[in-house]
Amino acid sequence: MGADWTSVAEIGGTPSTRASEGFAERATELQARVHEAHAYLTAGLGTDFDPLVIVADPTDWALGEDEAPPYGIPYATDELELVIPADPTQNFLVDTYAAFGSRESAERFADLIAVHELGHLHVGELRLELPQGWLSEFLATYLACCFLTAHRPEDAALWYTLSRAHAEGFVPEHRSLETLDELYFGVGPDTYIWYQNTLTLMVERVAPDLGLDFALRLRSAGLGSDSDTRTTLAAAESIHPGFEAWAASLRET
């Protein structure tokens, strides 16, 4: 059932936003970014809903879900909530990316992940049923990158640059899409981040060709929440050739 965020104070503005104590100003900045991205995706995809943005400190973090991800990894809920970490100094994602770029760029990148989470909400509102796994994560980043490329090209460049640096510089414990689909967050936090960055490198190859059309075309691919990796790969391949060779290359290395 719906989470109880009433202990987290509401700030004004659109979309509706709540912020942990002491983070109202930061929440206003994040709200503006979500607002801009939401307008872009709504217009391009024909979706229509009102997200709730929660900018949470470590204490408020898990109010939204019993099994919330570790503090620092933004998450979206079935209740159309976007939960974003308030404090970049206590964020292990920022620490991770700071090792591959400046601290400032890592903080910026971590904030942009809110747009990826917004992407998940739009996928759900498109009535696109996807299994939890590579395609769902790919598509959320895909939508985020379409927005950034169109409206925030410097942020798109930052996203691609840091993703590539981590994807090529970190040695993961697992590499195949099949394993991501099977274990999901169970691959471990650092390998999970590597998977996200590896997916971004494929987004960078496809998004310039198809833009938001890729997401719209996936709706007629007949996918469901129990589709296996082979089925999701075949669906993506039918829209933009290259996915199956890419997946094979991940298995081999």
Binding interface with Zn ion (CB under 5 A): 137, 140
Cβ proximity to Zn ion, 60 vs 137, nearer residue: 137
Q: How far is the CB of 117 from Zn ion (least distance, A)?
A: 6
Cβ proximity to Zn ion, 106 vs 123, nearer residue: 123
Question: What is the DSSP track for the chain?
Answer: -----TTSEEESSSS-EEE-TT-HHHHHHHHHHHHHHHHHHHHHH------EEEEE-TTTGGGG-TTPPPTTS-EE-TTSEEEEES-GGG-HHHHHHHTTS-HHHHHHHHHHHHHHHHHHHHHHHTT----SSHHHHHHHHHHHHHHHHHH-HHHHHHHHHHHHHHHHH---S---HHHHHHHGGGG-HHHHHHHHHHHHHHHHHHHHHHTTHHHHHHGGG---TT--HHHHHHHHHHHSTTHHHHHHHHHH-
Q: In the bound complex, which residue of the shown chain has the CB atom lying closest to Zn ion?
A: 140
Q: How far is the CB of 48 from Zn ion (least distance, A)?
A: 22
Q: How far is the CB of 30 from Zn ion (least distance, A)?
A: 17
Instruction: Tell me the two tokens of residue 68.
Output: 């919330």
Cβ proximity to Zn ion, 54 vs 140, nearer residue: 140
Q: How far is the CB of 10 from Zn ion (least distance, A)?
A: 25
Q: How far is the CB of 6 from Zn ion (least distance, A)?
A: 26
Cβ proximity to Zn ion, 9 vs 125, nearer residue: 125
CA–CA distance, 229 with 246 (Å, rounded to integer):
13
Please check whether residue 212 is in contact with residue 219, taking contact to mean a CB–CB distance below 8 angstroms: no
Sign of CA pseudo-dihedral 94, 100, 105, 110: negative
